[in-house]
Structure 1
């Protein structure tokens, strides 16, 4: 028999296979982590994936980076919204001021044109 010493061999019938919490029998899996590389352990068949610590850190860094980018976009949108609101307020203030000045100018010209009304007022 020639083959790799690391090829998985079937478990002997004398080895008791424990049951997982779901009621399924465990399977034998090999570790890929640096500290426990190629060590065998019992694992539930329903278990999909458990990231190693380094992968968790990388995922956390990616999530943090995405959150920071999202926060920057939100802050930029909020800043733009505030600037637009400020521009609208300034424009509304200018328009109101121009209307008041125009009304005052019209009243002044009307009074100057109609001297009788000016005399009656005094």
Structure 2
């Protein structure tokens, strides 16, 4: 039981320095009623209580290893995203370069045709 008289509940930490350590906390500490009950006005939040007490004194080695694995996975995902972004930028640059090259060739062809047409007209 908590100091406020309500039952406590056990939770696990998600913080990096206390990852997966268990602790007791007052059920009123993180009161989160269903959204429908709030909309209907049926619930009033109970008095908030800040009782917390650690059960585990340190992070277990397997939990620390799991956390490190998660961090490594996140780094790998970020690396892959950066690589894909770079490849996409290079692909777009290559397409733009190809379009510019084709536009330049078309311009030269038009100028050649215009020059031929002028010579043909002058020869008549």
- Cα deviation code 1:53-90 (max 9, x no counterpart): 32221111000101111111111111111100110010
Aligned to 1:43: 24
Distance in 2 (CA, whole Å) between partners of 1:58 and 1:25 is 32
How far did 1:25 drift? 1.9
Distance in 2 (CA, whole Å) between partners of 1:109 and 1:24 is 100
How far did 1:26 drift? 5.1
Aligned to 1:54: 65
Distance in 2 (CA, whole Å) between partners of 1:77 and 1:24 is 55
* Structure 1 residues 86 and 54, CA gap change in structure 2 (3 angstroms): same
Aligned to 1:102: 113
Higher relative contact order (CA 8 A, sep 6+): 2
Unaligned runs of 5+ in 1: 1-16, 30-40, 115-122
* Structure 1 residues 92 and 60, CA gap change in structure 2 (3 angstroms): same
Distance in 2 (CA, whole Å) between partners of 1:88 and 1:94 is 10
Unaligned runs of 5+ in 2: 13-21, 31-58
Paired positions, count: 82
**Rg: which structure is higher?**
1
SS of 2:24's partner is: strand
